[in-house]
Amino acid sequence: MTDDLAATFFQNGQALCKSCGRFNDFGSSQALYHAHLLTPCVYCGFRFLLHQSRQMDKLKELLSTHPQWLEQVKHGDLKLLGKRLDEIVPPIDDDQSVD
């Protein structure tokens, strides 16, 4: 994973909610690192950390099994990767079970 991608989602203890587009401030990068994945967005309630974790797990799987995904990362096609991950790993409802 590139530092640019990490900087897009995590900046100085702040994490972007993909549902409402607002930053959640955890106060520090260390606090964000230790935040529980079920922590909801303070603005809309979306469990954005869980969603991002699920997407990163899927991305790791795809990078190890599909060479075209690795090539997209190497070429910096991060917006395209983000769109494709949104399609492959959609947000889950609170009613759905988490695997």
What's residue 88's pLDDT?
Answer: 94
Could you tell me if residue 58 is inside a domain? Answer: yes
pLDDT average per 10 residues of sequence, the chain (99 residues): 51 88 92 92 96 93 91 85 91 58
Could you tell me if residue 31 is inside a domain? Answer: yes
> By residue range, what is the domain housing residue 9?
3-88
Please compute Rg for the chain using Cα positions.
Answer: 14
What's residue 74's pLDDT?
Answer: 87
CB atoms within 10 A of CB 26: 19
Could you tell me if residue 66 is inside a domain? Answer: yes
The dihedrals phi and psi of 23, each to the nearest 5 degrees, come to -85, 135
Name the amino acid, one letter, at 41. Answer: C
What's residue 11's pLDDT?
Answer: 67
Could you tell me if residue 39 is inside a domain? Answer: yes
Domain count along the chain: 1
Could you tell me if residue 20 is inside a domain? Answer: yes
What's residue 29's pLDDT?
Answer: 85
Could you tell me if residue 82 is inside a domain? Answer: yes
Could you tell me if residue 97 is inside a domain? Answer: no
- Rounded to whole angstroms, the Cα distance separating 22 from 74 reads 28
What's residue 98's pLDDT?
Answer: 46
